[in-house]
Amino acid sequence: MEGKLLIFSAPSGAGKTSIVRALLGRVDGLEFSVSACSRPMRSGEKDGVDYYFLSPAAFREKIEQGQFLEWEEVYPGSYYGTLKSEVSRIWEKGKHVVFDVDVAGALSIKAHYGNKALSVFVMPPSVEELRKRLVLRKTETEESLQKRIGKARHEMGFSDRFDRILVNEDLDTAIEEAEKLVTEFLESGQDQGVEKYDA
């Protein structure tokens, strides 16, 4: 059976991963798409669970063979992407695919699958609020924080190319809104253009 696809994208710190994790536990029939990467496996990680770990050469070979739905060379020799076989694997189990990807990847997947996919952009309430959230993580230097904010502004410029914009003001409310959006899409399967949801 061919299922549907749910694509979530957002600037770092907007809450996308928390929303996706909650949806996987609340909506039946969903499975998370595992990405491929060319970095070495870290302690505690498992191949096929955290990522599909490929050497840079093997990754490039799969790119040449057209095996990726989307991919990116994040910095020289460091690749991340989504294998087409991952979608087939999940559909063969009779489930719908959930993606947590960057903006470029999200737009590529949406372009490939059209109305079978629902693309959702998770928007922070403001750039200032996003800055506060990133500072609270205590994982950023001032330089890396400025880079993330700059990237976030750039990514937010693409939000109108998504089917839905979900503003994450309050996480619990945003999760409820996301669940409603996903359930409606899976039941109807029709995209209705860009709408904005304030949560």
Same domain, 99 and 142: yes
Same domain, 117 and 157: yes
Among positive and negative, which fits the CA dihedral 92, 95, 96, 99? negative
Enumerate the β-bridge partners of residue 97. Answer: 5, 31
Enumerate the β-bridge partners of residue 83. Answer: 68
Question: Looking at the 3D structure of the chain, how many domains does it have?
Answer: 2
Q: Residue 88's domain is classified under what CATH number?
A: 3.30.63.10
The pLDDT of residue 1 is 60
* Three-state DSSP class for residue 123: strand
Parent domain of 24: 1-29+94-199
The pTM of the full predicted model, rounded to 2 decimals, is: 0.88
Same domain, 71 and 140: no
CB 99 within 8 A of CB 106: yes
Same domain, 102 and 176: yes
The pLDDT of residue 3 is 93
Same domain, 141 and 198: yes
* Mean pLDDT, each 10-residue run in order, the chain (199 residues): 91 93 97 96 95 97 97 91 96 96 94 96 93 86 89 94 96 97 84 45
